[in-house]
Amino acid sequence: MEKLPGPPPIPASLAALDDWSSGSEEEHRRKNEQTPLIRHTSRKSGSRKNAFRKPDGFTELSTISDCKTHSQSSWSDGEKRIGDDDDRSISTYSTTGESVASLKSLATVSLENFREGLSIPFTDEEGSYQKIARGLGSLSVLGTIIGLTMPKNQYLNGRWYPWYRVISSVIGYNYFVLWSICFYPQVLLNYRRKSTKGLSNDFAILNLMGWSFYSAYLISMYFDDEIKIMYQQRFNNESSTVQSNDVAFSVHAMVLSFIYVVQIIYYGDSWCSFRLKPLTWLLVLAMGFPSALVPCLIKLGYLPYSTWLDYFYALSFFKICCTLTKYSKQVMLNWKRKSTSGWNIWYNFLECSGGSLSMLQITLDSADMRDMTGITGNIAKFALGFATIFFDAIFFSQHYILYPNKRAGTQEEGVPILIKTPSIVRTRSRLDLSELNGVDVEA
C-alpha cells in the first residue's frame, strides 16, 4: 500500500524563529509588535476611517516547535477535508447506484407481476375473487396501451374534440381485449380435459352463427363506402359509430366460436355426438335460409339495391336472437346438471367487462356527437352488451350461489374432470366409485 507523504518542510524564513526560545518574554512581545500591519479603508456615511489589522490567518508562533505543530495541524486538517470530500462523493455515487438498482428491481417485479396477471385467465379454473381482480387489472392495462397507440376515430369531431378521441380509443380497445380473450379459457379448459362435457352443443352452434352474422354486419358498415352513404342518407348525414376494434373483435370471436364446434366434434369421436335440440334446428333454418336468399335476390334485381342496408341490419338482429337463445340453452343445462363444471366462469367475467365497456363507448360517442342516432343506428351493439350483462349475472349466481360445490374442479358424479377413467369403469355404470381405489387411472 502506498504511503501518504508527510508534512511539508518548514520554510527557511521560519527558521529564524528558533532564536526566540533564547529571548525573554519582553523581547518576544516586542518582536510580535513589529509584525507588519495591513491598512485598509472602511467607508461609512461618507467618512474615511483608518484601521489596522493583522493578515488573515496570522498565528503568533513563539517557538519553532509551535511552528511545527501548526504546520502538522494544517496538513492534517487538509487531509481531513479531502477525505470528507471523497467520502461525500463515494456516498453520492453509492446512493445513485442504489436508486438505479432499486428502480430496475421494481420494474422487473412489476413486469413479472403483469405477465402473471395476463396468464391468470388462461390457467385459473376456480375463479377466486383475488385472481379475477388481478387478471382483469392486467388485461385493462394491456387494453389501455393498445388504445393509446392505435389510430383514433376521425369521425369523432363533437364537442369534446380532440381529447375524447383518445378516451374513446382506450375504452374501445379495453372492451376489445377483455371480450376477445373471454373465448380462450373455455377452449383451453376443453383441451386440458379432452372433453366438452358441460358445454352445450346448442350454445356452440348458435354462438358460431351469431358471430358470423355480426361480423358481416360490422365489416360492411366499416369498409363498404356504399353502405356508409346509405347510412348517412337515412340518419341525417351522421356517421356510423362502428369502429375498427368492433370489426377486429367480431372476426376474432367468429374464429374462436368455430373452434368450439370443432372441439365438440373431435372430442365426441363422431358427428353423431353433435346433437341439437329441435328449437335450435328451427332457429338455424329460420335465420340461415333468408340470410343466404336475400343477397341472391338483390343481385338478380328482384329487390332494390338499397335493401343491402336493411339486410345487414337484419343480420345484426339475428345475432341478438342467437345470443338470447344460446345463453338460455347453457343456463338450462347448468340447471339440469345442478353444476357449472365444464363451464369456465372466466368467460362471463371477461364478457361482462367487455359488454359494459362496449355500452359505455357507444353512449359516450353519441353524447360527443350530440346525436342519439349513434345508438339507434347501431342498436345491435348496445343490445348485445345489455344481453350479455343480464345473462352473466345469472351465470354468476349459478357458479357462486346455487352450485358452489360443483364447479370446474369436479363433475356432477364427483369424479375429477382432469382424470380419465378406464374403459372397464365406463362400461359398468353401476360400479361404485370406491372400487377405483385399486384401479390405475390414466392421467
pLDDT score for 285: 93
Print the SS3 string covering 279-290: HHHHHHHHHHHH
Helix (H), strand (E) at residue 353 = helix 346-369
pLDDT in tens, 21-47: 455 556 655 655 555 544 444 444 444
| pLDDT per residue as tens digits for the range 253-283 | 999 999 999 999 888 765 666 788 888 899 9
Our separate counts of H helices and E strands in the chain read 14, 2
**pLDDT at residue 404, as a whole number:** 84
Question: Which residue ranges in the chain fall short of pLDDT 50?
Answer: 12-17, 20-21, 37-58, 61-62, 64, 68, 408-443
Q: What is the pLDDT of residue 29?
A: 59
pLDDT value, residue 206: 93
**How many Å from the N-terminal Cα to the C-terminal Cα in the chain?**
68
The residue with cell 340470410 is 291
Whether 181 and 350 have beta carbons less than 8 Å apart is answered as yes
What pLDDT does residue 152 have?
Answer: 77
- Contact call for residues 340 and 399 (beta carbons, < 8 A): yes
Contact yes or no for 152/166 (Cβ under 8 A): yes
pLDDT at 32: 56
At residue 48, the 3 state secondary structure works out as strand
232 and 374 Cβ atoms separated by less than 8 Å: no
Res 164: pLDDT: 84
pLDDT at residue 28, rounded to an integer? 55
Which letter, b or e, does each residue of 230-264 get, where b requires 16 or more Cβ atoms within 10 Å of its Cβ?
bbeeeeeebbbbbbbbbbbbbbbbbebbebbbebb
In terms of DSSP H, where are the helices of 194-277?
Answer: 201-223, 225-234, 244-267
> The pTM is what?
0.65
Centre a 10 Å sphere on the Cβ of residue 311 and count the other Cβ atoms it contains: 20
